[in-house]
Amino acid sequence: MKNRTAIDFSLDDKFGNINKLSNIKSKYKVIYFYPSDNTPGCTIESKEFSDLISSFKKLDAEIIGISGGDKKSKEKFCSQHNLKLLLLSDTDFSVSKSYKVYGEKSFMGRKFLGIKRTTFILNKDNKIIEVFENVKPLGHAAKVLDYVKNINF
């Protein structure tokens, strides 16, 4: 998907507001798909992005987290961990499927369908300029921040 225009979407946030990708006007968009709210790895990843939000904003980069949980789940997740992020609900996984991050996974010998932890970086024209696949949560937000910082040089 790298070097392609990102697929536009409209998804609800924790307040029930509809957020359309094409309406987000920041220079960069960091879209991170994560498996589930309030699970250990997803909490680490989301907290790290939230902790670095001001550094991303200085670079005019908007952070957008997407998973299958509904708006109530997003609200609880944000409240429990004091997350300052835009988290969106992809309850039918249609956006995750269109970005090809939804599919078969395995954990402890069990196979199941779910979101594969993946991050996309988009430019102001919504062109995908980088994709991070098979993401390990710990330290990922800092790696993404370093990448965005280095785009400008």
Q: Which residues are catalytic?
A: 42
CB 28 within 8 A of CB 124: yes
Sign of CA dihedral 69, 82, 119, 19: positive
Q: Yes or no: say if 77 and 45 are a contact pair by the CB < 8 Å rule.
A: no
Across the strands, what pairs with 88?
A: 66
Phi then psi dihedrals of residue 100, to 5 deg: 60, 40
| Structure-derived torsion over alpha carbons of residues 33, 63, 61, 96, reported in degrees to the nearest 10 | 30
Place of tokens 């921040």: 145
